[in-house]
Amino acid sequence: MNYLDRSFEIGGVHIDPPLALAPMAEVTDVYYRSLIKELGGVGLVVSEFVSAEGLSRKNDRSHRMLAFSEDERPIAIQIYGGDPDRMDDAAAIVEKKGVDIVDINMGCPVKKIVNSGAGSGMLKDFDKAARVVDRIRRRVKIPVTVKVRKGWESDDVLPLLKRFEEIGVSAIAIHGRTRSEAYTGASDWNYIAQVKSALKIPVWGNGDVKTPADAVRMFETTGVDGVMIGRAALHNPFIFRDVAAFSAGRPVLDEVERRIDAMQRYLSKVDGAPQVEKWKLHKARTLVGWFSRGIPHGKDIRVGLQDITCVGDVQRILDNFRASVAA
Ligand SMILES: Cc1cc2nc3c(=O)[nH]c(=O)nc-3n(C[C@H](O)[C@H](O)[C@H](O)COP(=O)(O)O)c2cc1C
């Protein structure tokens, strides 16, 4: 069975292949998402979470986070917030931008976010969570999805998900950890399977897919419609393509050349961004740091990053590295 041959719809938005890039704050911005989309194999990309408060108060930074390119479609923008009025307005702002799907964050475990009733803090009050989602559902015409953890302290989110389904939510993404677990322990794929079998709407399974084999195992053991991958894409941006290859029985080769190519593509995108040099250098350092892990002698690249003053310097480091590998 090739699970990657299956496509599905989220409120009329066609998802093919059934793999998604998970939302990651400070990571899945327009540049990173475009890169992943360009490298191929992903059916949906999700933005980093954007503050509903920021959007509704016309904060520049929050509005800049709504930027996306046409090539990324279908794209979901994720919003978070504890104030129902602002969430409602933020969803309308997202819709007006022409985005395909608005996603609601009910997973973020960070104290500051949770204390304002946002993120996984929503899982402490099911009535409020359902009210917020219901209002957004009525306010916008684009599909509304929700990304949740399996509960606040225990695995009890299912009744809330059933309410979401009744309200008209188009899909759920579930990370199989509680808020209390943050990122410790393991994502509970048994609970993900329970959620999948109890709901009629599509379900994304999420958490601890580190390799192509893991992705196939998640499809197999949970029956989810789609697999959502986060951290593995930080180190291997080709993970989505690799899942397709693995699933079709083709060899998965992680060549140095393709990694260098991915880094250089990303650097070109970042270099062309309307941002200050400091931001560009930060992005370049972070991403090249991640993507160079696992490459033989990749440390040589990371050592070189200490002395850079512009993105061009990083491109040169990579050119030299590529030449030394080829020699
Ligand atoms: C750096 C980082 C930032 C994240 N930011 C978000 C976010 O903005 N919204 C969200 O719903 N989840 C966020 N997450 C959680 C991921 O989307 C995902 O649920 C989690 O990492 C588990 O999946 P994985 O094992 O494939 O990484 C973040 C995770 C990481 C590592």
pLDDT one-digit tens code per residue, 186-237: 999 999 999 999 999 999 999 999 999 999 999 999 999 999 999 999 999 9
* pLDDT value of position 205: 98
- The share of the chain scoring above pLDDT 70, in percent, equals 100
Minimum-distance ligand 1 atom for the alpha carbon of 48: 8
Q: Would you say residue 32 has pLDDT above 90?
A: yes
Instruction: For ligand 1, atom 22, name the residue with the nearest CA.
Output: 207
* pLDDT value of position 67: 97
* pLDDT value of position 139: 98
Q: Is 321 exposed, middle or buried (0-12, 13-18, 19+ CB in 10 A)?
A: buried
Tens of pLDDT, residues 119-154: 999 999 999 999 999 999 999 999 999 999 999 999
For the domain made up of 3-247, the CATH class stated in words is alpha beta
Q: Would you say residue 294 has pLDDT above 90?
A: no
Instruction: For ligand 1, atom 28, name the residue with the nearest CA.
Output: 24
If you measure from the C-alpha of residue 312 to the centroid of ligand 1, how many angstroms do you get, rounded to a whole number? 30
What pLDDT band is residue 327 in, cutting at 50, 70 and 90? confident
Q: Is 77 in the pocket of ligand 1 (CB under 6 A)?
A: no
What pLDDT band is residue 254 in, cutting at 50, 70 and 90? confident
What pLDDT band is residue 253 in, cutting at 50, 70 and 90? confident
What pLDDT band is residue 326 in, cutting at 50, 70 and 90? confident
If you measure from the C-alpha of residue 137 to the centroid of ligand 1, how many angstroms do you get, rounded to a whole number? 24
Average pLDDT of every residue of the chain: 96
* pLDDT value of position 71: 96
Mean pLDDT of 295-317: 93
Tens of pLDDT, residues 268-282: 999 999 999 999 999
Mean pLDDT of 84-90: 97
Q: Would you say residue 36 has pLDDT above 90?
A: yes
Q: Is 147 in the pocket of ligand 1 (CB under 6 A)?
A: yes
Instruction: For ligand 1, atom 23, name the residue with the nearest CA.
Output: 207
Mean pLDDT of 11-23: 98
Q: Would you say residue 1 has pLDDT above 90?
A: no
Domain ranges of the chain: 3-247, 256-326
If you measure from the C-alpha of residue 310 to the centroid of ligand 1, how many angstroms do you get, rounded to a whole number? 29
Q: Is 24 in the pocket of ligand 1 (CB under 6 A)?
A: yes
* pLDDT value of position 14: 98
Q: In angstroms, rounded to a whole number, what is the distance separating the alpha carbons of residues 127 and 132?
A: 9
If you measure from the C-alpha of residue 313 to the centroid of ligand 1, how many angstroms do you get, rounded to a whole number? 30
Known catalytic residues are 108
